[in-house]
Amino acid sequence: MAFKPSLKKKRTLIEAEANLTPVMNLICVLIPILLGSAKFVDLALLEYTPPLIQETGAEVGGGSGAGGGYVNALLELRVNVTYGALEVSIFNATTGENYAAIPKQPDGTYDYEGLRQKLVDIKQRVVGQPISRSQQQNPLSGKMEIVEQYKYSDADQVRISAEGDIPLQTIIRVLDACREYRASEGIYHPLFPSPALGQIQ
């Protein structure tokens, strides 16, 4: 014979709920703090060191990496941004194999990749490998840096001149193309990282 079920066991199940109010308080404080420090637009800084002008008008170095030194030969690399093309020249050439004009592309934009290829060619074919390496203190940052000496004392410099109405975006793109290139193994190598800006008269 079965026993009669106990009346005491008829307990009602109470649903336990976590008290989320303190967690909510914490999140409500964290969200405004994080909103204030969130970076929705990725900004960067393109550094430019204007060349120093001596009393005589001659420029001294083109920027941070200028080696100075015992070599006197000058590369005289120039990039002119005209309304129709990008002109690259070395040794002050205006024609011949030391001068190249890279015309605009059919869609009307400048051929920055073509400019970079031309500069890589100059770096590898004309400038070549460094002839010595030395450790020097950077006068601006005060840090010790390895300075490479090339056969041209201005081997890391480029003079960029542009027509007066060229927009800033074009100049930034040209500076990007002159600064570095990506080798086939995926490593970035410096090209001519010390620009000097001027205007085509």
Partner 1 sequence: MAFAPSKGKKHRRAGAAMPQLTSMMDMMTIMLLFLLKAYSTSGAFIKPATGVDLPNSTVMKEPVKVLSLIVTKDGLYEDMASQRGKKIEDLASLQNDNLVELPQLAAFLNQAQERNRTLGREEKRTLTIQGDKTIPYRWLLKVINTCSSAGFEKVDFVVLKESKYRG
Could you count the other beta carbons within 10 Å of the beta carbon of residue 58?
9
- Tell the smallest beta-carbon distance from residue 17 to partner 1 (Å): 7
d(CA 146, CA 138): 9
Using CB under 8 A as the binding rule, whether residue 58 contacts partner 1 is answered as no
- Tell the smallest beta-carbon distance from residue 165 to partner 1 (Å): 5
Using CB under 8 A as the binding rule, whether residue 162 contacts partner 1 is answered as yes
Please, which residue, 149 or 170, has the CB nearer to partner 1? 170
Please, which residue, 35 or 58, has the CB nearer to partner 1? 35
Of the residues 7, 11, 15, 37, which one makes contact with partner 1 according to CB under 8 A:
37
Q: How far, CA to CA in Å, does 115 sit from each of 32, 101, 143? A: 46, 9, 32
d(CA 178, CA 174): 6
If you write DSSP's letter for every residue of 97-139 in order, what string do you get?
A: GGEEEEEPPTTS---HHHHHHHHHHHIIIII-S-SEEEEEE-T
Using CB under 8 A as the binding rule, whether residue 201 contacts partner 1 is answered as no
The residues of the shown chain that bind partner 1, judged by CB under 8 A, are 17, 20-21, 23-24, 27-28, 30-31, 34-50, 81, 140, 162-173, 175-176, 179, 182, 188, 197-199
